[in-house]
Amino acid sequence: MLPDIKKLIEQMSKDRGIEQTIVIDAIKTAIVSAARKKLGAGVDVEVNYDEEFGELEVFQFKTVVEKVDDSSLQISLEEARQSLDPEACLDDSLGVKLDAAEFGRIAVQTAKQIIIQKVKGAERDVVFEEFKNQKMSLVNGFVVRRETEGIVLNLGKTEALLPNNEQIPQESFKRGERVKALIIEVRKSARGPQIIVSRSSNKFLSALFELEVPEIADGTISIVGVARDAGRRAKVAVTSKSKEVDPVGACVGMRGARIQNIVQELRGERVDIIPYSEDRAQYICNALAPAKAQKVIIDEENREMDVIVPADQLSLAIGKSGQNVRLAAKLTGWKVDVMSEKENAALEEAGKEQSHLV
């Protein structure tokens, strides 16, 4: 049934990228199934594989009894002593060697199907473990099709889903187009590993910086925080362990080459690189760039900051639809209120008048 079994096992293991023991177990299970299909579901069958000689032996075990009621499970004492073991005793379990070729064509086909199923299951497990270890890593895939849930990418060994809510808004892809994304989740399912990827997450942007900036990859520069309005604008706060390395300059790259590569991958999303500071007031001022602040009033208890800017910087500090100040607040983790000098003066005056009334 299975000629050159050793070569078959080695070839299947090599082609499928799985351990030989998995293939051997699959073949054993398949032969047991084929034997039971031929001889009956209740038969006691055992399959042994001699790895050194590459041989399979199939045994049907029968219990020694005085009177046989089921020939598939029992053997008479007389027959056992004559054909198997002269010293056989009642209740002994004796193995009768079988010829696998006698199982028949249908049984053999069943065995083949089980082998295929077992090997496919092992392959899925291998792929799952491989991609589980790649969680939060960048991958490249090609667009296969669009489904209701999102875009399906071919990663080579398996497929991944780029859900609609993990895509950059207004971004579109053609079939066959190469797409870079971040693995954010790996799930097990009956059909194999389900890999979920993202292009809109903050961590995708961080991973792009790590890819483009060697100083981030080697730990010299650290990304402290990311605030992102995917597809439109992002702020990335960075710091350096070495005084000799400018974190912002390193991220921008020579003639802006590094940041240009990132912006190109993000289809034109604007990225502000912010120098991190332990000084909270300085940090928020940096985060509001390109606007320039004059004064910062900090409310430690409520984690709020009032940032005063020149009148001609107010719209720049707030940004279109409040985007700049909103991203700055997300980046720093503080509630931020931006106002002009005139507005601040009016508030202070109103506060004084209120105190006089009291």
pLDDT tops 80 at residue 5: no
pLDDT tops 50 at residue 182: yes
The CATH number of domain 201-276 is 3.30.300.20: yes
To which residue do tokens 């320039």 refer? 292
pLDDT tops 50 at residue 97: yes
What residues contact residue 337 under an 8 Å CB cut-off, 6+ apart? 304, 305, 306, 307
156-173 average pLDDT score: 91
Question: Is residue 24 within 8 Å of residue 50, measured between CB atoms?
Answer: no
Topology annotation, domain 5-130:
N Utilization Substance Protein A; Chain:P; domain 4 (3.30.1480)
Using a 10 angstrom Cβ sphere, with 0-12 exposed, 13-18 middle and 19 or more buried, the burial of residue 353 is exposed
CATH code: domain 134-198 is 2.40.50.140
What residues contact residue 5 under an 8 Å CB cut-off, 6+ apart? 27, 49, 54, 55, 56
Question: Is residue 306 within 8 Å of residue 296, measured between CB atoms?
Answer: yes
pLDDT tops 80 at residue 116: no
242-263 average pLDDT score: 95
> Please, what is the average pLDDT of the chain?
86
Domains 201-276 and 280-358 share a fold: yes
8-12-15 Cα angle (round to 5): 135
Q: Per-residue confidence at 217, pLDDT binned at 50, 70, 90?
A: very high
Ranges of each domain in the chain = 5-130, 134-198, 201-276, 280-358
Highest mean pLDDT among 56-65, 91-100, 147-156, 335-344: 147-156
155-176 average pLDDT score: 91
Query: What does 306-317 look like in DSSP terms, one character per residue?
Result: EEEE-GGGHHHH
Q: What was the pLDDT predicted at 108?
A: 56
- For the four alpha carbons of 167, 289, 285 and 265, in that order, the dihedral sign comes to positive
pLDDT tops 70 at residue 309: yes
Phi, psi of 129 (to 5 degrees): -65, -40
Question: Is residue 226 within 8 Å of residue 202, measured between CB atoms?
Answer: yes
CATH superfamily of 280-358: K homology (KH) domain (3.30.300.20)
Q: What was the pLDDT predicted at 354?
A: 39
